[in-house]
Amino acid sequence: MSSDSSDTMMEKLRRTRSRSMQTTSQFGGRLPKQIQRALPIYAILVLFILIISNVDTLKSSTVSHAKRSTQKVLKGSTTANFPRKIWQTWKVDPLGFAERDLLSARTWTQLNPGHRYEVLTDNNDMYYVETHFGPDELDRPDIVEMYRSLKVQIIKADLLRYLIMYVEGGVYTDIDVEALKAVDTWIPDRYSVGDVDMVVSVEIDQPDFKDHPILGQKSQSFCQWTFMCKPRLPVMLALVDNILLWLNDVAAEQDVPISEIKLDFDEVISGTGPSAFTGAILKEMTSKTGDQVDWSTFHAMRESKLVGGFLVLTVEAFAAGQGHSDSGNHNARGALVKHHYHASEWPLLHPRFSHPIYGEVEKCNWEPECVRIWDENMAAYEKLSPEEKEQQIAIKKALDEHDALHAQMGAQKFDPNSLNMPQQNLNPIPQAAIPMPQPGFHPDGSPVRNLDGSIMRNLDGSLPVNPNAPPPPPPPAQKLEIKDLPAAKADPALPNQPQIQPAPEVKAKDTKAEEKNAPANLQVKPKGEIPLGASFEGGNNEDDKRHALQKGSNA
């Protein structure tokens, strides 16, 4: 113990002894001498206990402050920068990338040389989840067990990106997304990075379809194939918890374990995809701002908006070139990434709703007139009897089989190298011309009609065109009337014009009068008669004959 502490304790002892002496004098020796002798010892014990208690309190205060500091860092700081790290998930590591994936991945490292780049694969994703959500870190055995049990690959892919972004933060992007601009340009200069916790972009902005039975739930959504966030955001963990609850409900409804659940396209979209992603963000925005935030805040945006720490970029930022939602193209100034969609094969395992006659409404690509026709066809179909429905389906099936056969025959080519014989001995195989009806037409060339007698239209609403139909007959020839042309007149406005003289009137000769007045020795020969002494110098040439006749008549 230091000298200062000793002096302090001695001073306290003197004061205690002084008080005890005063007490003795005050009470006039009423206290026994044994108690009077023990008072200093009691005072020393009390002082010692106080010192020990203060030391424990000081240590406890220091530890509590350290814990609070650690927890504050784990929750993420609103003033910290975004982690300079780019994340992707795929089946294999970058050394095994196909060329198309490698080319896209290189754009991220080339445009962002100051960022780390990491890929989690199907071989190490489970280890990552066990490490960060196991007992040594976040201690979420429910997350670990759920991820281990899942067999639906697209659900695991969605869930994994959310887990990574909660733990690490940074940029997440799908394997088939190409970087167009550096990550450092994503946040406009008018915003402070400290005020931004997450950066997302509009993907689908079609609120007119929000009540559509199929398109409604995916008509308003943020893009989740690319986004950026800081670590330990509550919205990411809330999204993960929502997914776990949803998966447990699906398994209970289907009465199967998690590993055996079956999902269609729309269930994936609403459960873990853009719809689930968007719903969690809108809810967190509402919680942070204290006001109800819905999609109307982001409809038809012309510039980015910051709401409750979420920076929402326009649709062309992450989702340009879609052909809808006013998404523009990838040459636009605001386009930051380009999605190639070549890794989006999961709908083959989780198909969309496809009507047996009218197909998928998504093929309309949000074109209002196309969707309207699809809806009308669906409504008319539902009014048919079961027999009529079967008949319409049979017609559509026959047309599809014909189209497939036609396409197959057009794609087949004779390959001489496939036969084991010399090239020069091969003769082309004649192909018989098989009359094939065109889509939308019967074999006799007549159009396929609906039950109400109207012609069955194409999916885009246009009428089918039969290229094999005979050309229409030519229009009837019009009778031309030749009218006398008016005599030409000089234009007085034009100078130096020659005077146009009227043609002299030609009078017909009176042949009979000439014969009366002719001399007696002159014989008038009838027209066309060859005069005596005329000769044909040109032989049998018809022109020469006519010339001789003319000479004879002139003579």
Give the tens place of pLDDT for each residue, 127-182: 999 999 999 999 999 999 999 999 999 999 999 999 999 999 999 999 999 999 99
CB atoms within 10 A of CB 366: 19
Q: Is 92 left (phi over 0), alpha (psi -120 to 50) or beta?
A: beta
* Average confidence (pLDDT) over 273-281: 98
pLDDT at residue number 207:
97
Res 504 pLDDT > 60: no
- Integer Cα distance of 225 and 88 in angstroms: 10
- Using DSSP, state whether 121 is helix, strand or coil: strand
Instruction: Give the β-pairing of 220-222 and 198-205.
Output: antiparallel
What is the end-to-end Cα distance of the chain in Å, rounded? Answer: 167
CB-count exposure of residue 485 (10 Å: 0-12, 13-18, 19+): exposed
Category of 223 on φ-ψ map: left (φ > 0), alpha (ψ -120 to 50) or beta: beta
Question: In CATH, what is the architecture of 85-348?
Answer: Alpha-Beta Complex (3.90)
pLDDT of amino acid 77: 44
pLDDT in tens, 18-74: 554 454 444 444 556 666 666 777 777 777 777 766 645 444 443 333 333 333 334
d(CA 527, CA 521): 19
* Banded pLDDT at 240 (limits 50, 70, 90): very high
Quote the DSSP letter at residue 432: -
Is residue 117 within 8 Å of 108, Cβ to Cβ?
Answer: yes
Percent of the chain's residues with pLDDT above 90: 56
- 3-state secondary structure string, 157-221? HHHHHHHHHHHCCEEEECCCEEECCCHHHCCCCCCCHHHCCEEEEEEEECHHHCCCCCCHHHCEE
Domain boundaries defined on the chain = 3-75, 85-348, 354-406
> pLDDT digit string (tens) for 407-426?
887 766 555 555 454 545 54
Q: Which of 162, 199, 176, 161 is nearest to 82 (CA)?
A: 199
Contacts of 241 (CB under 8 A, 6+ apart): none
> Which tens digits make up the pLDDT trace of 184-217?
999 999 999 999 999 999 999 999 999 999 999 9
